[in-house]
Structure 1
Amino acid sequence: MSALSAAFFHDEAATFAKLESLLWPEGPVCPHCGGMGRITNVTGGRMSLRRCGDGTKQFTVTVGTVFESSHVKLHL
């Protein structure tokens, strides 16, 4: 069985969840200020968009990774 047959390679939301579990095992961390306390989900925006209450900046799990400026869907 190939590793590419894993469920998170076939759904973008599942891919974001898998990447978040790998990069943030203790929960989301703001890449700008390093805060973990007041992070909220932003509704109606990009997938898994979050906002830091301490620094008031928006971010996703892809910030600071090779996927940050990619326009290709994460699961592809």
Structure 2
Amino acid sequence: MMTPLFVTNIPPVGWLLIAVVVLVLFGRGKISSLMGEVGKGITSFKKGVQEGKEELEAADAEAARDVTPEDEKDKA
């Protein structure tokens, strides 16, 4: 994934200025609650990915089990 050009052209002082403006506009409490919601969203996303991975592994294990009839196993 490529980083947009405008992100790489902003110097560190510019990022600091952007952070100060955002802090002044929204206030510390609003930003804190927003970051808490972002953290909950990330945690929920990771949990969903893990559950999906477990479901796929369970499906693979179910598909890989031996379904040969008992009387056919002796012939091999």
Q: TM-score range by the shorter chain?
A: under 0.3
Q: Please identify which structure carries the higher helix content.
A: 2
Alignment TM-score, normalising by the size of structure 1 = 0.23
Higher relative contact order structure (alpha carbons within 8 Å, sequence separation ≥ 6): 1
TM-score, length of structure 2 as denominator length: 0.23
Q: Which has the higher strand share?
A: 1
